[in-house]
Amino acid sequence: MFHTWEINHILKWIYSYPKLVERYVEYIAICCAEVAKVKIDMGFDVCFIDCDWAYRSGPFVSPNIMKKIRIPNLGKVVDIIHKKGSLVVAHADGDIGLLLRDMVEAGIDGYHAIEPPYMNIDEVKQKYGDKISLWGNINLSFPLAVGTPEDTKRSVRECIKAASPGGGHIICSCNYIQESVKTENYLAMCEDARKYGKYMIKA
């Protein structure tokens, strides 16, 4: 969602043609909602929304602009998905810290990526762990691509220690599993996640 633009053009258009960009984002939101409806009718319990709105150093544009153009449309899509009976997980790379509070208030149920070192999962847990589910935080480059199985297991245990207390944590990579990821590291991540990431669920 909201990631179909050509970023170099849209950043200029926000200032040159703000009304056009607002209408475009509204249109994309409508399209995303319609796609989500179809998926939910197919049996999907969770819908992922692509909210890649940040560089590693922070949002693409001013947080005020994002709050004016993006966040309200995110809220509209979330409401539609919730009314259809599904949950919403927002995927966002980079440093989304200046926008995360607004995303949570827009109603998202989970946040995926929490890309280290640009987002600290311990801080995110403390601020929002009682409001949303946290997904991800195992870095693709190190340890998954260039580290060792032991490096990977260490990262998994640190992640579980930071984010799992109290529940609401799903451990996984901070993006999709790319070709650069070593098979032995991926298997090590899964092995330790199963070993140390179990919850005592009360009826």
List pLDDT tens digits, range 53-68.
Answer: 899 999 988 999 999 9
Average pLDDT over residues 59-87: 94
Q: At what angle do helices 121-128 and 97-105 cross, to 10 degrees?
A: 30
Q: Is residue 203 part of a domain?
A: no
Is the pLDDT at 13 greater than 50? The verdict is yes
Tokens 């589910």 belong to: 133
Q: At what angle do helices 18-42 and 71-83 cross, to 10 degrees?
A: 20
Rg (CA), the chain: 18
Q: Which long-range contacts (CB under 8 A, 24 or more apart) does 182-185 make?
A: 182/144, 182/145, 182/147, 184/149, 185/143, 185/144, 185/145, 185/147, 185/148, 185/149, 185/151, 185/152
Q: Is residue 128 part of a domain?
A: yes
Tokens linked to 119: 């987002």
Tell me how long the chain is. Answer: 203
Amino acid 91: pLDDT = 95
Q: Is residue 105 part of a domain?
A: yes
Q: Is residue 79 part of a domain?
A: yes
Q: Is residue 1 part of a domain?
A: no
Cβ atoms of 45 and 90 closer than 8 Å? no
Identity at 80, one-letter amino acid code? I
Q: How far apart are the first and last CA of the chain?
A: 36
Residue spans of beta strands (DSSP E) within 84-152: 87-92, 110-113, 133-136
Provide the domain count of the chain.
1
175-185 pLDDT per residue, tens: 999 999 999 99
Average pLDDT over residues 188-196: 95
Is the pLDDT at 11 greater than 80? The verdict is no
Q: Is residue 201 part of a domain?
A: no
Identity at 168, one-letter amino acid code? G
Identity at 141, one-letter amino acid code? S
Q: Among 140, 151, 146, 148, which Cα is nearest to 178's?
A: 140
Domain that holds residue 176: 7-196
Amino acid 203: pLDDT = 43
Tokens linked to 29: 């939101």
Domain CATH for 73: 3.20.20.210
